[in-house]
Structure 1
Amino acid sequence: MADTQEPRAPGAGRPATAGPRLLLNAEPFGFGPAAAVALLAAELAPDCGRIAYIGEGHTLDLQSRPPYHAIHDTTGLTEDERLARLRKLAPRYDLFVTAMDSGMAALARRAGMELAIYDALTWYWPALPAVAYEAAPYIAQDFFGVRERVAADAALRERAVVVPPVIPPGRDWTAGRHVLVNLGGLDNPLWRPDDAVAYARLMLAAVRAGLPAGRPVIAVTNRGIAAALADPAVGTYDHGTMLELMSTAAYACMTSGLGNIYDAATTGVPTLWLPGANDSHTRQVLLLSEHGYCDARLDWEDIGLPVDHTAPPAAVMREISGAVRRLAGEQRLRERLAEELAGLTAGLGGTPGKARALTDRFGHGGMRPAAAAILRQVERNTENP
């Protein structure tokens, strides 16, 4: 996507429009941050004089104009080039808002920008990045252990706002004929793009192998992986369409990013969680299972390819990459994967998924209080420059 240019208004290059001016961003790791910031943008836009996006790679798949006035593509830029771009943009904006991209957040601070951070994984980080303590607000999406972590950290507690999941209210699940295969969240810098494509191809083939004849499959992933698969059943969809596909599926087989988990909660779709594609996936599914919110899950060890998900992220991704390559190279393992998937999904579809109850525990509609916290901070900064 080409970088779009913003009009300059008289006086220090500031736009003449009234209202808060926000520059949004999302971490290029998985699909969750990009999806969350797109929802935040839609919520914030009516109250903003200017709202723009800056980011790279597959995060651009879910960003569009409107609600953005401009989109700045930083794909392939060096750190110095990204810093220069932020310094050029900084005078035009009141706040830099990122979904979990601590690297870009640190560059935004170096560029002199005030900072807000939305974090879906407060429950997970062994240690929060230092830049989290420079954000006001630090917006933590609720999940197991989030409120306890915030309460125990005095420095974080001063600037933190805990919000419900960034999902709309629950809808009725009306089981249709199609099986949804949601392969969101595969792209991340800790493994090779061709390993992500191989994972998608292998999981889609295994789901199909276990389906009755004539049962249609609709598969979802980002644009790059969809293009590599070149499969007419595979596409990239906006969040509203995704929720419709989930709520009308017979059942779903999905990667277990927290965004997918909460989408399963709001749609009620019965779900089998696929083997982890990064270090947080399996930990999240284990939490679901421990608390009774999991319909079915398949781990790498279930097909004879154990992965140590307690290892550091880079080590976990090396093991997952190795598992994907072995799976691709051994027909016996692919047959075992298909058999396990068929067995685990045979009982799905009769009743709404157990993840539905997560909305009772953690709520929904988190984009509204998140947006309100961001707008309040801009107002405070304006009153106390």
Structure 2
Amino acid sequence: MKENQHLVHHDATTKTRHGQPSTSPTSIVFNAQPFGGGPGATLTAVMPYLRSRLKSLGPIALHYVGSSLTMDFQKLTETKWDGIHNVDLYTNPEIGKRKLVSLLQHLKPQLVVTAMDELVAAAAQAAGIPVVIIDLLLWFWPSISPNWRQAELVIAAEFYGVQERIISENLNNVATVPPLGPPARTTQDPSADVLLNFGGMINPLMPKQEYIAYSHLIYSAARRAIELRNAALPESQHAKLIVLVASFDVAQGIDPKDPEAARMVLPDEALKLMASSELTFCTAGLGNLYAAGAVANAVLLLPPLHEGHAIQTHLIQKAGVPVDAIEWHELTGRAPIDYYRDSLQVMDNVSKAQSEVIDSPQAQTALVGRMLAAMLRSASAGVSAEDPPLRTLIKEFGQDNGDAMAVQIMDVLEKVR
């Protein structure tokens, strides 16, 4: 097949598909904000359902634009985009914006669909291209961006506070859908294994060394805790530690002595491991919370990396869900972090707390102790007739496989064509 020179120029990693018509198809550009794993995973879930529905509209090319871990995720999955373009609007915003505008001028998309990236939405709207925004955090933003109000449609995933936000902000261009996730199921006889699922931790506002240091700290504590767990229990109950990440950087940096310590897997395999494990340690990203609510057994939430993790946990607890979660002040002995301050200030306070734990054998012992206690509780609990506490999220908001978002995107596309 002849090489597509434009895709090469834009650092594309996927060439156009075999069998594509010689006439130029209608283009749709997709993008995911490179904050955590949820935005990229959302598009990966939605795209197959959208592709199926788009067949009725004739030839349409779906292009993915992104950077950082969102690119890692697209390369890992088996999702077949018609083009994948590496455009980074965060390392150098001006250069990234020029590159994006050039790409949009070339592709001439009829629609841009972004998972929460305000920079991409703004560039597309300035170019006169209709925009759909998928928002997993409508309840969260300190203020609603003008780009959200100018969008053709905002597709908001349900969570505590979403309906109230729509009403208070008088948003008339929002459609709500159930959060993405697998059908709820219970494993009757889980293994004794412990799953450490970091999910997507990466944030362009956070230096790489911060989240690698975080993963190494948590991983080291989990390894020590599982050694103590196995020493305290009969050999028949010994467990393995399974570590999952959503970033090549974290996979390579989590344990310099063991490059195989952590692995990246497709979402379906991560769900199987979560369902079959006796206990799951995970960050409190919404994707992790909904997945854990659907399939996990016992769960311990790791210390927050940013305000989103903490506030999501607080909202769940405020709703009466008894979730077990580690907070930094438990380890440092200092006053609790105020997670409702400016994002950069919160991350600075988290960084200070993390550094203190890394430098303090006493704090690390406290972290190991929290993990060990959760392991021993899950080992002694056995099979419970009651649903895990986080299952409340599924009962409250439901879950969707991606088709509900695909339907909303189709409705907009049919209007703007």
Q: TM-score, normalised by structure 1?
A: 0.90
1:323 aligns with 2:353: yes
CA distance in 2 between partners of 1:205 and 1:294 (Å): 27
In our comparison, the structure showing a higher alpha carbon Rg is: 2
State which of 100, 108, 118 in structure 1 corresponds to 2:134: 118
1:137-180 CA deviation, whole Å, 9 max, x = no partner? 101100011112112332x2x21000101113223334112111
CA distance in 1 between partners of 2:264 and 2:416 (Å): 38
CA distance in 2 between partners of 1:244 and 1:78 (Å): 39
CA distance in 1 between partners of 2:99 and 2:203 (Å): 24
Task: Report the more deviating stretch, 29-38 or 83-92.
Answer: 83-92
State which of 337, 340, 353 in structure 1 corresponds to 2:367: 337
Residue equivalent to 1:83: 98
Does the 8 Å CA contact 2:16/2:82 hold for their aligned counterparts?
Answer: no
Shift of 1:21: 3.3
Does the 8 Å CA contact 1:264/1:353 hold for their aligned counterparts?
Answer: no
CA distance in 1 between partners of 2:123 and 2:15 (Å): 21
Shift of 1:86: 3.3
- After superposition, the CA RMSD in angstroms is 2.3
SS of residue matched to 1:30: coil
SS of residue matched to 1:3: coil
Does the 8 Å CA contact 1:268/1:354 hold for their aligned counterparts?
Answer: no
State which of 33, 49, 59 in structure 2 corresponds to 1:27: 33
Amino acid at match of 1:85: L
Residue equivalent to 1:169: 183
Shift of 1:353: 2.2
1:202 aligns with 2:217: yes
Does the 8 Å CA contact 2:292/2:299 hold for their aligned counterparts?
Answer: yes
Change (3 A) 1:134 1:16: farther
1:273-317 CA deviation, whole Å, 9 max, x = no partner? 111011111111112222233431111111125322121110010
CA distance in 2 between partners of 1:5 and 1:342 (Å): 44
Residue equivalent to 1:248: 276
Aligned-pair identity (%):
28
1:173-188 maps to which residues of 2 (within 5 A)?
173-174=187-188, 175-188=190-203
State which of 102, 121, 124 in structure 2 corresponds to 1:105: 121
State which of 61, 77, 80 in structure 2 corresponds to 1:67: 80
1:249-272 CA deviation, whole Å, 9 max, x = no partner? 111011001111011112143211
Structure 2 alignment gaps of length 5 or more: 1-9, 55-59, 231-237
Shift of 1:78: 4.1
Residue equivalent to 1:290: 318
Residue equivalent to 1:239: 267
Change (3 A) 1:4 1:34: same
Does the 8 Å CA contact 2:14/2:82 hold for their aligned counterparts?
Answer: no
CA distance in 1 between partners of 2:273 and 2:24 (Å): 38
Amino acid at match of 2:248: R
State which of 302, 313, 338 in structure 2 corresponds to 1:308: 338
SS of residue matched to 1:88: helix
1:16 aligns with 2:23: yes
SS of residue matched to 2:377: coil
Count of residues in correspondence between the two structures? 374
Change (3 A) 1:73 1:95: same
SS of residue matched to 1:44: helix
Residue equivalent to 1:11: none
SS of residue matched to 1:144: coil
Structure 1 alignment gaps of length 5 or more: 9-13
Residue equivalent to 1:220: 244
1:55 aligns with 2:66: yes
